[in-house]
Amino acid sequence: MMMLESQVTTEAQRDADELEKRGVVGVTIVWADNNGIPRSRTVPVDQFGAAVQRGVGVTPLFAVFDSHDGITFEHGPLSTPSGDIRLVPVSDRAVRLAGQPGFGWVPGRLVEADGSPWPYDQRGVLERQVARGAELGLEFRAGYEIEFQLSKSDDEDGDDGGAPRPVFEGPSYGPAKMLAVDGFAEQLLRDLRANGIRVGQFHGEYGPGQFEFNIAPADPVSAADQQLLARQTVHAAARAHGLRVSFAPLVAAGQVGNGWHLHTSVSRKGANLLSGGRGPSGLTADGSAYLAGLLRDLPAVVAVTAPSVCSLERIRPGFWSGAYTFWGVENREASLRLVPSTPLLGAAHANVELKPSDASANPYLALAVVLAAGIAGIEDGLTPPAPVQEDPGQWSEDRRAAHGIHPLPATAAEQAAALLASQRIRAALGEELTGAFLAVRAADAARAADLDTAEVAHAFRWLY
């Protein structure tokens, strides 16, 4: 049952009063556009209740912004500068930012001027898939591994677009790499916790100046909200310590990229369908079907979860980024890596990791298409092929073809074709949003048409 407007306003005012008592002067309302880039409006704290009730006006053309703030008018329904929509804060998700104590943070949803659903609202797309799963008795959990690279804030890129100087150059995964960012790491862990984001681990990653932490699993909408809040938290902690953060899929040519690996699990009546069965590594029949659904629609899914021209430069064989259409059990080269349950970790731990996923994906859309593909697999009773435990990148083309393994789309045009070819993924997004999303992708591709890998990396380095 929906709360009455007066109840919503009263509770929002209560939230605003509490934030103001804690020193907050403004509340930033955040959403992510079709490039995965956070956009926002900030309201004075004493106007937060009014914003919850009536929203804040924004242009509908945010749905057709490209990655570099160009506006494409190639999507017919959004082909003029006219119109207005409302950005409404999801008031029960408001937090005071630990790293920016004068400000609150809250995710927002986009609605029509009269308050009705707007078909381009990405949060609503995910909420519909969660509801669709619930109708089938399915519940989902999702979590992110977030990779990023740190450099000194005063380090200049140079006119040649060369790589920024990493904050640490030396062995990966070791304590010396963490020691190099000791103060930043301490503040980040404190701030994440204060902002309500549970973290499983934090470590120095493989690439130059690269680090990673993982966000504990949550329901899908909360996971997407927390992904946006986490990146804001990282940026604030980095600024406080004279550092600059890049979440870009590829920071510099020749380096490993930043993936935001997306982990999901599916349950029925509290039982994880990815464990306790008779399939490979304990998959149940429905768990196998969920995975098979992801595999069937993988090219279209990845067109949403790794959609930028920078993403395409990151996804390469041999880089653990998932360049081919196959799954494996704990195979880190696989696009879909099954992480099975074990006696030590328990049945709830089992999940499927999607490797080709990064910061250029809108987190709500990324999760929506993953759930849509998995749900369709369960509805259709699919069975996946046998898991592959090798690196197919080392195989011949004939051997890969014999196993039904193909490269993922390698160009923006191929990604668009894959998305258009999947009625299931298009239906999950809706025709209006699919059209806007593809128009934005085409605008990005045109902008990057004459750029080489180094120039693409330079162009996308600081966008996220």
Q: Are 210 and 148 in contact (CB under 8 A)?
A: yes
The CATH number given to whatever domain includes residue 370 is 3.30.590.10
CB 416, CB 438: distance < 8 Å: yes
Is a pLDDT exceeding 90 seen at residue 170?
Answer: no
Which residues on adjacent β-strands are paired with residue 29?
A: 41, 106
pLDDT surpasses 90 at 169:
no
Structural domain ending residue among the three candidates 62, 89, 118 = 118
With bands split at pLDDT 50, 70 and 90, how would you rate the model's confidence at 262? very high
What is the radius of gyration, based on Cα positions, of the chain? 22
Q: Is residue 109 included in any domain, yes or no?
A: yes
Is residue 125 in some structural domain? Answer: no
Looking at residue 286, what is its pLDDT? Answer: 98
In a domain, 263, yes or no: yes
Q: Are 334 and 327 in contact (CB under 8 A)?
A: yes
In a domain, 124, yes or no: no
- Residue 76 has what DSSP assignment? G
Domain count, the chain: 2
Beta strands in 78-117 (DSSP E): 85-89, 95-96, 103-112
In a domain, 42, yes or no: yes
Reported as a single tens digit per residue, the pLDDT across 133-162 is: 999 999 999 999 999 999 987 655 544 456
Question: Do 112 and 198 lie in a common domain?
Answer: no
Q: Is residue 68 domain-shared with residue 43, that is, in the same domain?
A: yes
Domain shared by 318 and 191, yes or no:
yes
Dihedral sign for Cα atoms in the order 226, 228, 231, 236: negative
Q: Are residues 398 and 333 in the same domain?
A: yes
**Contact (CB, 8 A) for 64 and 75:** yes
108 with 137, same domain? no
- Under a CB-based contact definition with an 8 Å cutoff, are residues 430 and 119 in contact? yes
Where is the domain boundary, 118, 142, 175?
118
pTM score, two decimals? 0.95
Asked if residue 137 and residue 106 are part of one domain, the reply reads no
Q: Which pLDDT does position 328 carry in this prediction?
A: 97
Distance CA 145, CA 263 (A): 8
Residue 423 has pLDDT above 90, yes or no: yes
For the stretch 350-402, pLDDT in tens is: 999 999 999 999 999 999 999 999 999 999 999 999 999 999 999 999 999 99
Residues 203 and 309 grouped into a single domain: yes
pLDDT bucket at 2, cuts 50 / 70 / 90: very low
Return d(Cα 216, Cα 200) in angstroms, integer. Answer: 6
Claim to verify: residue 149 and residue 102 sit in the same structural domain: no
Count the neighbouring beta carbons within 10 Å of the beta carbon of residue 344: 6
Distance CA 253, CA 66 (A): 22
Q: What is the pLDDT of residue 179?
A: 93
Residue 34, domain member (yes or no)? yes
What pLDDT, on the 0 to 100 scale, is given for residue 158?
A: 43
Confirm whether 123 is domain-assigned: no
**Residue 9 binned pLDDT confidence (cut-offs 50, 70, 90):** low
Would residue 14 be called left, alpha or beta, if left means φ above 0 and alpha means ψ between -120 and 50 degrees?
Answer: alpha
CATH number of the domain enclosing 43: 3.10.20.70
The reply to whether 139 and 14 lie within a common domain is no
Cβ-in-10-Å burial (0-12, 13-18, 19+) of 398 comes to: exposed
Q: How far apart are CA 457 and CA 461, in angstroms?
A: 6
Quote the pLDDT of residue 5. 54
Task: Check residue 184 and give its pLDDT.
Answer: 98
Note whether residue 186 is domain-resident.
Answer: yes
Q: β-strands 327-329, 336-339: how paired?
A: parallel
* Pair of tokens at residue 387: 């898991």
The last residue of a domain, from among 118, 148, 181: 118
- Domain of residue 407 covers 130-460
Helices 285-296 and 363-379 sit at what angle, rounded to 10 degrees?
Answer: 120
Other beta carbons less than 10 A from residue 68's beta carbon: 14
Q: Span 112-122, mean pLDDT?
A: 97
For 228, residues 6+ apart whose C-beta sits below 8 A from its C-beta are 30, 32, 38, 107, 363
**How much is the mean pLDDT over the chain?**
94
**Residue type for position 405:** I
Let me know whether 372 and 273 are in one domain.
yes
Let me know whether 209 and 230 are in one domain: yes
108 and 194 in a single domain? The answer is no
